[in-house]
């Protein structure tokens, strides 16, 4: 699901969710490529994203500047299975 900011700029895509024993812990968002190394992922707290239904579709919005989101610490998937 694409994520937009208040300026209606596409700032990323929800790729996964992070769970802990208490439930949803965060959304893992792809914010594009980083220096040619492939996808760059960041984790945001569930309360940072607002969801609304419009025209029979869900829309996700964050109150953040795209550059600040891209500058957030990178999330790396564990190689353990």
The DSSP letter of residue 73 is P
What are the structure tokens assigned to 11, written together? 């700032």
- Is 78 domain-assigned? no
**Which pTM does this prediction carry?**
0.83
Residue with token string 């990178």? 74
C-alpha 70/C-alpha 34 separation (Å) is: 9
pLDDT given at position 36: 59
Q: Quick one: average pLDDT of 42-71?
A: 93
Domain limits for position 48 = 2-70
Flag whether 62 is in a domain. Answer: yes
76/28 Cα distance (integer angstroms)? 10
The CA distance from 54 to 52, in Å, is 6
Name the nearest CA neighbour of 65 among 2, 15, 11, 13: 11
pLDDT, mean of residues 47-72? 92
CATH number at residue 53: 2.30.30.240
What pLDDT is attached to residue 23? 95
Q: How many domains does the chain have?
A: 1
Instruction: Quick: pLDDT tens for 2-54.
Output: 999 999 999 999 999 999 999 999 999 999 765 556 788 999 999 999 999 98
- Is 19 among the domain residues? yes
Residue 51 in any domain: the answer is yes
Asked whether residue 32 is domain-assigned, the answer is yes
Q: Is residue 59 part of a domain?
A: yes
Using the predicted structure, report yes or no on whether residue 81 has a pLDDT greater than 60. no
pLDDT for the residue numbered 39: 83
């Amino acid at each position: 699901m694409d994520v937009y900011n208040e300026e209606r700029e596409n700032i990323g895509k929800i790729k996964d969710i992070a769970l802990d024993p208490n439930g949803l812990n965060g959304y893992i968002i792809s914010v594009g490529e980083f220096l040619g190394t492939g996808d760059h992922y960041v984790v945001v707290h569930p309360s940072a994203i607002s969801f609304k239904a419009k025209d029979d579709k869900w829309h996700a919005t964050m109150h953040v500047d795209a550059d600040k989101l891209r500058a957030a610490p990178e999330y790396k998937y564990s190689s353990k299975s």
